[in-house]
Amino acid sequence: MSSTSKRTPLAATHELLSARMMEFGGWHMPVQYQGILQEHKTVREAAGLFDISHMGEVFVSGPGSELFLNTLLTNDVRRLPVGGGQYTLMLNEGGGVLDDLLCYRIESEHYLLIVNASKIDEDFAWIRSHASHFEPSVQVENQSPLWAGLALQGPKSAAIMQRLFPQIDERGQPSASLLPARNTIVSLPVANGPLLVARTGYTGEDGFECFCSSQSAPFWWDLILKTGEPEGAVPCGLGARDTLRLEAGFPLNGADLSPEHTPLEAGLGAFVSLQKGKFVGRDSLLTQKETSIPTKLAGLRMDGPTPPPRAHYPVLFNGERVGETCSGSLSPTFGLGIALAYLPSQLAAFGQKVAVDIRGRQFPATVSPRSILKHKP
């Protein structure tokens, strides 16, 4: 571990569980426990628990917060009811992606932004600089050191959460009313709160992201795993988190998303509201949409048994380099190589044949939908 690496409130817990640790985005994090393939399989079939305490929590509040956030983020914040959440992006003036994040409306004039770990300080500075034009009606606070995050993911996650937070209806039967619906967040009434629970995730499975105080993180980690033991829940590391999100077609900031590419190029236009009015980067996106989108983030499937594709492998068409992979791995679920790569728009159509240079050898691949889960081979 680097002497400058940050430790989450659960770092000692991971070490006691003999997790293999690594540095990720400046954080000392678990990459695996039992092994990436086994953890991946467990999340697809049962449930896995991830430490996401390295993610940042930035709160925005005040009577001008909705207007402010709508000038800063790509999605339309006005659509959010209290308790609602949405995926959105923060852009530079050229339309390039600074970060992708989740925005929750906790109260009418109180929002929570979940930002990527390596971008916390940079994002906070960017948000503060733009919020200065809205003072005193907007307050921005980086509370990341005060919070921890745990992500329970998998088809058994709802059953585990229901057992953890039972609610009895008027007939004396278990009810799921305490648990949030998809893309919403609730504050659960617990003795050692606060505990915010959102129904979202980064794996392609049903799941929950729980945000608690840093001090209570070990308590919730142990309790969730103990409660989930009958369902087969296990602790999981960043290795499985990466293969799971890649199978689901979710982009990774800093790899698949960057200031050099716009959300239109990344295929994230559904999370950009060009009709809502002025926001940072909008003019550049309008120009790009009206003229041409030069590259598109495409999914690639290797056509046969190959070494797993990794990031920065050349992608070729007719023997000429036309791009490079941003992310790549072997799909543990389907046993084939998958990757994401920015390609010239004319080559990004489904079914297009290309090749990936893997350690000096060219292997055939096909441009495919990014989510292998929705479009099984």
Q: Confirm whether pTM is higher than 0.85.
A: yes
DSSP helix, strand, coil percent of the chain (3-state; round to 5): 25, 35, 40
CA angle 113, 118, 122 (to 5 degrees): 65
Question: Under a CB-based contact definition with an 8 Å cutoff, are residues 255 and 327 in contact?
Answer: yes
Alpha-carbon 88 to chain mean position: 11
- Characterize 63-102 residue by residue with b for buried, 16 or more Cβ atoms within 10 angstroms of its Cβ, and e for exposed: ebbbbbbbbbbbbbbeebeebbbbbbbbbeeebbbbbbbb
In angstroms, rounded to a whole number, what is the distance separating the alpha carbons of residues 134 and 67? 9
What are the structural domains of the chain?
Answer: 1-293 (3.30.1360.120), 294-377 (2.40.30.110)
Amino acid 39 reads: E
pLDDT the model gives residue 1: 53
pLDDT the model gives residue 3: 59
Asked if pLDDT for residue 166 goes beyond 90, the answer is: no
Burial of 360 (0-12, 13-18, 19+ CB in 10 A): exposed
Alpha-carbon 173 to chain mean position: 35
Instruction: Give residue 178's pLDDT band: very low, low, confident or very high (50, 70, 90).
Output: confident
Asked if pLDDT for residue 176 goes beyond 70, the answer is: no
Read off the pLDDT of each residue in 51-79 and give the average, rounded to a whole number. Answer: 98
In angstroms, rounded to a whole number, what is the distance separating the alpha carbons of residues 142 and 115? 10
Instruction: Give residue 377's pLDDT band: very low, low, confident or very high (50, 70, 90).
Output: confident
Label the pairing between strands 147-153 and 139-142: unpaired
Instruction: Give residue 233's pLDDT band: very low, low, confident or very high (50, 70, 90).
Output: very high
Q: Please write the tens of the pLDDT for every residue from 247-270.
A: 999 999 999 999 999 999 999 999
Percent pLDDT > 70 in the chain is: 96
Q: Scanning the structure block, which residue is given the tokens 């009810």?
A: 175
